[in-house]
Amino acid sequence: MQHPAATAPAPAGTNWAGNLTYRAARLHRPASVAEVQEIVAGSPRVKALGSRHCFNDIADTTADLVSLEDLRGDVVVDLPDGDAPGVAWVPGGMQYGRLLPELARHGYALHNLASLPHITVAGATATGTHGSGNRNGSLSTSVVGLELVRSDGELVTLRAGDADLPGAVVHLGALGVVTRIGLRVQPTFSVRNNVYLGLTWERLTADLDGVADAAYSVSVFTNWHEITSVWVKSRVDELEAAPEEFFGARSATVPTHMLPDTPVENLTEQLGVPGEWHERLPHFQVGFTPSSGEELQSEYFVPRRHAGAAIEALRALAPRIAPLLMVGEIRTVAADELWLSPAYGTDVLALHFTWYRDEAHVRAVLPAIEEALAPCDARPHWGKLFTTGAAELDRLYPRLGDFRALVRRHDPRGAFRNDFLDRTVAAHV
């Protein structure tokens, strides 16, 4: 007997930005892991669908999409003895916006958060989404366990110490449907956010390491002609008070949006007012869920040793970039050992672009950006717009061959294969 969730077809619709209409014939909303197993085992092509906040076709397929929004479950925190960190086991479809208040209410925290809180934990960590901080790894580095349904319908669990886990965390949807994910947690902490105006390119490039290391998390916003603002997020237990001046930039005296002439009501609180980690590390309030995205996004990660050259290369392209750009953002991310993480093996500078939703012109400028950043070994964000091909990605990711072998072991029949994987990592070659 088939479960209703496995047979009721529904239109797949579009991604969050509206620039992609999913091709899947069916969209399923299973309410149990057993239903997920049945759908996956019975589908010729299947992909998991999270918050739809990817700007490319990484989650697209021709047959079946599986949304885990209805796969409910409690957040369970395991607290081992001794000094080992706690682990929060989270349902696969849970968004950070739901998870964060629950963790905070019980005195727990994650080490890092992305700009937007409405994205799913499983989707963000599967694509190497990051946050900011010289000493902070990406969101993916919190992952210490994965429970996933493989293409044969088998439910498997990977935990810390398993040889496959470093290759499976940033998995691009190629290994299975994640039904639960284990995240390393720590005691809660407080953060203040101060915004500074007037930082010059000269001061930034002369002491980029100092700027990035001046606080727990630093974001530099720009239109690539000039730096428009700097958001400096400091742990209260590490810095008693924020300075009035920041590398020559002055402290903002009113709440300031990263986009000119934009209301600030949905932003996290600024002006140095302390708040819990989940109320300050995102740029937007946890309760704020964008209804639609009149934007596109791209992002590239370069080793920190190439940071100055990468910034200068993009400044030279400012006349082409700026007319299409809502805002750019420069952040740092600490190195990790996750095979397909953009920070694999090296501390990186993240160069983010929020574009107006003009896909034809954005796609036309991406090759110029990628060519300019090629000497800097730029790795693209897996969930955003880019044109970098499989051959170049193979050069940039030394463990990509190992990842292909991992995919073939977990998905020998190619059920999770799609155009994106064929075009980028050639997962079944």
215-266 pLDDT, tens digit each = 999 999 999 999 999 999 999 988 777 888 999 999 999 999 998 888 888 8
pLDDT at 234: 96
Residue 324, phi then psi, degrees to nearest 5: -100, -5
Local confidence band at 294 (pLDDT 50, 70, 90 cut-offs): confident
- Percentage of the chain beyond pLDDT 70 is 95
pLDDT at 427: 74
**CATH class for domain 190-381?**
alpha beta
- Percentage of the chain beyond pLDDT 90 is 84
Could you give the CA distance from residue 297 to residue 275 in angstroms, rounded to a whole number?
29
- Please state, rounded to an integer, the average pLDDT across all residues of the chain: 93
pLDDT in tens, 65-83: 999 999 888 999 988 766 6
To the question of domain 76-188 being in CATH 3.30.465.10, the answer is yes
How buried is residue 369: exposed, middle or buried, by Cβ count under 10 Å (0-12/13-18/19+)? buried
Q: Which residue spans within 117-176 are E strands per DSSP?
A: 143-149, 155-159
Nearest to residue 268, comparing CAs of 217, 332, 199, 208?
A: 217
- Give the CATH architecture of domain 4-67: 2-Layer Sandwich (3.30)
Name the residue with higher pLDDT: 338 or 264.
338
Is the predicted pLDDT of residue 296 greater than 90, yes or no? Answer: yes
Q: Could you check whether 4-67 and 76-188 share the same CATH topology?
A: no
Is the predicted pLDDT of residue 1 greater than 60, yes or no? Answer: no
Could you give the CA distance from residue 225 to residue 345 in angstroms, rounded to a whole number?
31
Name the residue with higher pLDDT: 264 or 362.
362
Could you give the CA distance from residue 216 to residue 132 in angstroms, rounded to a whole number?
8
Name the residue with higher pLDDT: 260 or 365.
365
Q: What angle do CA 272, 237, 241 make, to 5 degrees?
A: 35
pLDDT in tens, 89-140: 999 999 999 999 999 999 999 999 998 888 999 999 999 999 899 999 999 9
Q: Find the helix or strand (DSSP H, E) in which 185 lies.
A: strand 177-187
Tokens of 69: 């929004």
pLDDT at 2: 44
Q: How far is CA 236 from CA 104, 240, 274, in A?
A: 16, 6, 7
pLDDT at 22: 95
Domain spans in the chain, listed from the N-terminal domain onward: 4-67, 76-188, 190-381
Is the predicted pLDDT of residue 384 greater than 90, yes or no? Answer: yes
Q: Number of helices (H) and strands (E), helices first, in the chain?
A: 14, 19
Q: How far is CA 262 from CA 67, 218, 258, 265, 319, in A?
A: 33, 21, 8, 9, 23
